[in-house]
């Protein structure tokens, strides 16, 4: 049976609980254990699919088509274990299920309540599909003390009791702030937060203390005393140079051995940390650097492009170079050629990532043109592929008014809606009802690659599977004209209906993909497209 590790956070948000969970899971893997990580989000949205990237950051998509919290991206990048729909649940989803059952009369007249109905649903979610792993890590979003996380804490309390000692532990992540005026680290917020958790019936087994200064032994002892844990179970967590240095840092502080101790497990062998040592080695000692211009919309909002940012770093790891990302706001330079050149000339390669809506679209089309004409490596992802096709249609295929129906009615819908997918998934009704959730082509789909294409050699395969999140598709009715303009359709859905990849064979590196390869890239297994793109940027950097 799987053992459970529940992870809560206290004092403030943004303490890096997700990274802690991902790092701990990675460390357990280095000791040969099989892991799965789950995220419970206490908010009332059914999933993050409809939430603004400004508020919530990227929506991470799983193979099975779930729109989930970006922490699942960290989990997958650190463990290599593909996340599933069943790894992320929100209060909204739980309440929706319960209310639907109640309306159907499934509760046979009983009063439906937070305890036991909501807590039972949370417990069932935590326990489901866990037979194939040794450890399940469950991270609770939010901060202890929030009203909305109460049912989750109560469910943990019950589960710790039901599963028994040795089968379930909890870790609380807190902050030990440094007060400059006093020149001291303060443990009181941690004490209060643990007291609050204890009042809800959950005594943490391990405390992870984020701090900006090293935690002296005296303060460690004080936290242990007041929070009722052994001194060794107080794990200091200083800021790391890179997120990929976090697992080794936690290992150095004894996190994984403390967790095993809390379960009563004596480790039989030393962990094999070589995978993480190699990544940190490459990140800390790059042999060069490149600058990638990312022309997007949510500039300054790193979380909105979390996976993309990481995949570019992974491409750097593959090529032993440091990747500097220059975030460029597409709206800034629309129609202003001098500004376009000023922004893009310092870049060794240009990437246009996924996006929704017309804002900034013309600026992105102009960056495609710049990359094509100046022979700078270009990578278009989802919206970036669609705009590469619009640019090709307008500038090389003579389709002056080429556009996407996403921007409004057009005579030349080079990019249009994918209604066929909606009917296949029985989604027309939801769309007609004005329900914005779930009307997209979501999750993993296969694609067939053309034999002697750039992408076939990059992947070293003729069939691939990648994750999607979009409503629109490049319209195959324009294929011949676009190909006459030099844009080759080198990847298609197996039925040949949907263009998945376009490329320009006459260009040093010009690839557009309808899917999101960044979602599957890992530091120890960089995505081949990102590795190849960064290699092209390295080549470009030697030319200029």
| Binding-site positions for Mg(2+) | 71, 139
Whose tokens are 């379930």? That residue is: 168
Based on the shown chain and the rule CB under 6 A, indicate whether residue 443 belongs to the binding site for ligand GLN: no
How far is Cα 439 from Cα 427, in angstroms, rounded to an integer? 6
Q: To which H or E segment does residue 232 belong?
A: none
518 tagged catalytic? yes
Per CB under 6 A, the list member of 95, 327, 356, 524 interacting with ligand GLN is: 356
Question: Which one of the spans 64-72, 153-161, 250-258, 466-474 is the region binding ligand GLN (CB under 6 A)?
Answer: 466-474
Question: Which one of the spans 208-216, 241-249, 341-349, 352-360 is the region binding ligand GLN (CB under 6 A)?
Answer: 352-360
382 tagged catalytic? yes
Tokens found for residue 353? 């990532």
Based on the shown chain and the rule CB under 6 A, indicate whether residue 471 belongs to the binding site for ligand GLN: yes
Per-residue mark of binding to ligand GLN, 367-406 (x: CB under 6 A): ---------------xx----------------------x
Residue ranges of the binding site for CTP: 13, 146-148, 186-191, 222
Based on the shown chain and the rule CB under 6 A, indicate whether residue 355 belongs to the binding site for ligand GLN: yes
76 tagged catalytic? no
Among 138, 211, 227, 382, the active-site one is 382
For 325, residues 6+ apart whose C-beta sits below 8 A from its C-beta are 291, 292, 294, 309, 312
Per CB under 6 A, the list member of 74, 251, 470, 504 interacting with ligand GLN is: 470
What residues form DSSP beta bridges with 510? 378
Q: How many residues bind ligand GLN (CB under 6 A)?
A: 10
Per CB under 6 A, the list member of 469, 507, 520, 527 interacting with ligand GLN is: 469
What residues form DSSP beta bridges with 254? none
Residue ranges of the binding site: 13-19, 54, 71, 139, 146-148, 186-191, 222, 240, 355, 383-386, 406, 471
CA nearest neighbour of 382 among 347, 415, 355, 417: 355
Nearer Cβ to ligand GLN, position 192 or 471?
Answer: 471
Residue ranges of the binding site for ATP: 14-19, 71, 240
Tokens found for residue 74? 């960290």
Burial 379-416 (b: 16+ CB within 10 A, else e): bbbbbbbbbbbbbbbbbbbebeebbbebeeebebbbbb
Question: Which one of the spans 58-66, 336-344, 349-357, 426-434 is the region binding ligand GLN (CB under 6 A)?
Answer: 349-357
522 and 79 in contact (C-beta within 8 Å)?
no
Nearer Cβ to ligand GLN, position 121 or 382?
Answer: 382
235 and 206 in contact (C-beta within 8 Å)?
yes
**DSSP 3-state of 505:** coil
For 200, residues 6+ apart whose C-beta sits below 8 A from its C-beta are 144, 150, 153, 154, 157
How far is Cα 283 from Cα 471, in angstroms, rounded to an integer? 37
Question: Which one of the spans 92-100, 161-169, 206-214, 469-477 is the region binding ligand GLN (CB under 6 A)?
Answer: 469-477
Based on the shown chain and the rule CB under 6 A, indicate whether residue 298 belongs to the binding site for ligand GLN: no
Torsion angle of the four alpha carbons 144, 149, 152, 156, in this order, in degrees rounded to the nearest 10: 10
Nearer Cβ to ligand GLN, position 33 or 356?
Answer: 356
List interacting residues with ligand GLN (CB under 6 A).
Answer: 354-356, 382-383, 406, 469-472
Point out the residues that are catalytic: 382, 516, 518
């Amino acid at each position: 049976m799987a053992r459970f590790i529940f992870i809560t956070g206290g004092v403030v948000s943004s303490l890096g609980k997700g990274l802690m969970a991902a790092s701990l899971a990675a460390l357990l893997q280095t000791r040969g254990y099989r892991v799965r990580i789950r995220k419970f989000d206490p908010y009332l949205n059914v999933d993050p699919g409809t939430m603004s990237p400004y508020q919530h950051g990227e929506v991470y998509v799983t193979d099975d088509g779930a729109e989930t919290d970006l922490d699942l991206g960290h989990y997958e990048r650190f463990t290599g274990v593909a996340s599933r729909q069943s790894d992320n649940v929100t209060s909204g989803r739980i309440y929706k299920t319960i209310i639907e059952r109640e309306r159907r009369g499934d509760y046979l007249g009983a009063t439906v309540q937070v305890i036991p109905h909501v807590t039972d649903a949370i417990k069932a979610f935590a326990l489901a599909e866990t037979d194939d792993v040794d450890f399940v890590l469950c991270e609770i979003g939010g901060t202890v003390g929030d009203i909305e996380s109460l049912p989750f804490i109560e469910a943990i309390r019950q589960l710790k009791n039901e599963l028994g000692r040795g089968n379930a532990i909890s870790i609380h992540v807190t902050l030990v702030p440094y007060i400059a005026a006093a020149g001291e680290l303060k443990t009181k917020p941690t004490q209060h937060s643990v007291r609050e958790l204890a009042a809800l019936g959950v005594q943490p087994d391990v405390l992870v203390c984020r701090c900006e200064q090293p935690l002296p032994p005296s303060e460690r002892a004080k936290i242990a005393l007041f929070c009722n844990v052994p001194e060794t179970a107080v794990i200091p967590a200083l800021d790391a140079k890179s997120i990929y240095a976090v697992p080794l840092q936690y290992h150095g502080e004894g996190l994984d051995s403390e967790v095993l101790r809390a379960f009563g497990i004596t480790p039989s062998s030393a962990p094999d940390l070589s995978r993480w040592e190699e990544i940190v080695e490459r990140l800390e000692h790059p042999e060069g650097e490149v600058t990638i211009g990312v022309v997007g919309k949510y500039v300054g909002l790193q979380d909105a492009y979390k996976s993309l940012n990481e995949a570019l770093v992974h491409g750097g790891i593959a090529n032993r170079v440091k990747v500097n990302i220059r975030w460029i706001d597409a709206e800034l330079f629309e129609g202003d050629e001098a500004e376009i050149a000023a922004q893009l000339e310092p870049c060794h390669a240009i990437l246009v990532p996924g996006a929704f809506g017309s804002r900034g679209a013309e600026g992105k089309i102009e960056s495609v043109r710049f990359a094509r004409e100046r022979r700078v490596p270009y990578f278009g992802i989802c919206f970036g592929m669609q705009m590469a096709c619009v640019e090709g249609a307008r500038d090389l295929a003579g389709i002056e008014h080429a556009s996407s129906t996403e921007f409004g009615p057009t005579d030349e819908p080079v990019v249009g809606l994918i209604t066929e997918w909606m009917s296949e998934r029985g989604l027309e009704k939801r769309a007609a009802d004005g329900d914005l959730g779930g009307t997209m082509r979501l999750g993993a789909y296969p694609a067939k690659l053309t034999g002697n294409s750039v992408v076939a050699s990059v992947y070293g395969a003729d069939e691939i599977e990648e994750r999607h999140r979009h409503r629109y598709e490049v319209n195959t009715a324009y294929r011949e004209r676009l190909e006459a303009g030099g844009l080759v359709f080198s990847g298609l859905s197996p039925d040949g209906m949907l263009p998945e990849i376009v490329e320009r064979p006459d260009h040093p590196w010009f690839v557009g993909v309808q899917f999101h390869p960044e979602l599957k890239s890992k530091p120890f297994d960089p995505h081949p497209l990102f590795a190849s793109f960064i290699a092209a940027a390295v080549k470009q950097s030697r030319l200029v």
